[in-house]
Amino acid sequence: MNYYDEIKDVLVKNEVYKKVKDYSKNRSDLNTYFEVGRLIVEAQGGEERAKYGNKLIKEYSEKLTKELGKGYSIRNLALMRKFYIKFKNVQTPSAQLSWSHICELLCLNNQYEMNYYISISSKLNLSVRELREKIKSKEYERLGKNIKLEESKVNSLIKNPILIKVKNKNVKLTEYALHQSILENMEDFLKELGIGFTFAGSEVKIKFGDRYNYIDFLLFNYIYNCFIVIEFKVTELKAEYIGQIIKYIGYVDKNMRKPFHEETVGVIICKKENKYVMEYCTNPNIFTTTYETV
């Protein structure tokens, strides 16, 4: 079998197809480059040998560049080979993902991690830059080891730690200053929390008897159809914070939640965890996480 002619034919057909059907060029590119990667691996004598050998790729690159033009450098052909090796057992990438998205994902070694970023890139229509930032911030790792994409709970979306943008991360913040920083970067904060979070209010005023309290942030998640009470603390988690957020959840359930809404969820975001406190929290709708300033 003449692998070079086969690879050239696949690439030429892709260029023709993209000119005719520009709207699906991402899908055509990914299918083509995956197939080219497969052919390169076969031409090099199998996956183990293909991981390291670039002599054949260099030869193919020089011939393809001469015959077809730019775009077939040694690096690009090596990426196509890597694409096949890494993605042959991974879910099929969405047509929304471009070749540039895939190149960002090729630095990952964990199959579940790749699936996570493929899924979230499609759901949020992430640009290449946004995807790069999520990978750089180790978003998947902050979800926790046992989190799976198919879990249907809000806590499966919340990371640990949460990254919060501030003007000077080296300055110790008060709760007020942290609150203001989040308000100034609310869009980034909602994206950091996960998918489906929308802003419902800040310093939400609620009344218990003749006393007023204020919920730091009230959010709504349209995927899980529920309100989320967010409380920020610049200290270690304390037992009294649990009691406080339970009251706030109860207020929202009684006065804001509609019959068609799911139960309200409470999230306490602290500077430091205290697992001993959470051992005695029996409310399944209360979650905790920590934050870091960036």
- Each residue's pLDDT, cut to its tens digit, for the chain (294 residues) gives 688 888 888 898 888 776 665 556 677 888 899 999 999 998 888 776 656 667 889 999 999 999 988 888 999 999 999 999 888 877 667 777 899 999 999 999 888 888 889 888 888 889 999 999 999 999 888 876 545 444 445 656 678 899 999 888 777 888 999 999 999 999 999 988 888 899 999 999 999 989 999 999 999 998 889 999 999 999 999 999 999 999 999 999 999 999 999 999 999 999 998 888 887 787 888 988 999 998
Q: How many CB atoms lie within 10 A of CB 79?
A: 17
- In this prediction the pTM is 0.67
Cα dihedral 263, 264, 269, 275 sign? negative
Buried b (16+ CB within 10 A) or exposed e, 233-260: bbeebeeebbebbbebbebbbeebbeee
Give the position of tokens 């994902």: 105
Rounded Cα distance between 47 and 69, Å, is: 28
Rounded Cα distance between 131 and 120, Å, is: 9
- Check residue 49 and report its DSSP letter: H
User: Which helix (DSSP H) or strand (DSSP E) does residue 292 occupy?
Assistant: strand 286-293
Rounded Cα distance between 251 and 253, Å, is: 5
| Phi, psi angles (nearest 5°) of residue 235 | -125, -175
What SS3 class is residue 45?
A: coil
Decide: 113 and 140 in contact? Cβ < 8 Å: yes
List the domains of the chain with CATH numbers.
Answer: 3-142 (no CATH), 154-293 (3.40.1350.10)
**In one letter, which amino acid is 161?**
P
Decide: 118 and 97 in contact? Cβ < 8 Å: yes
Tokens representing 65? 């560049």
